[in-house]
Amino acid sequence: MNSTEVVTLASAALGVFGGGGFFMARATVRAQRVTAAANETIARLNAAPQAKAQDLAVLQATVARVDEENGQLRGRQARVDSLLGAFSRTVNRLIYRMERADIPIQPDDIDELVQDYMRTGA
């Protein structure tokens, strides 16, 4: 039995036996309800920082994962860009050699996307 219950019981007994009667018992019940509500509120307030800390931990883990994935994607994109540049240089050299050897280039020899890239660089 905790101190609040002891005080409540003592107050109720005093009220019933000592002169406050019904009104004292009613006040004791109300006090118990207020105390219970206060204890519940305190428990909720104490739990709130823990919930926020858990939310923050999830957010930090998500950010770390996204950063890692973005780093991998940036690395992959850099490799693809390098490969595209290498293909472009290779095609340019082959076209130049074909022209020097008087080999005509047919329109369908070079894909439209490659032709567009060669014209614009993008």
The per-residue pLDDT for range 41-73, each reduced to its tens digit, is 777 777 777 777 787 888 888 889 988 999 999
Which amino acid is present at 78?
A: A
The CB density around residue 28, as the number of other CB atoms within 10 Å, is 21
The pLDDT value given to residue 40:
81
Residues 6+ apart with CB under 8 A from 4: 32, 35
Cβ 24 vs Cβ 14: under 8 Å: yes
Residue linked to tokens 């509500």: 37
Residues of the chain with pLDDT under 50: 6-7, 16-18, 22-23
Cβ 110 vs Cβ 91: under 8 Å: yes
Rounded to the nearest 5 percent, the helix, strand and coil shares of the chain are 90, 0, 10
Q: Look up the pTM and report it.
A: 0.46
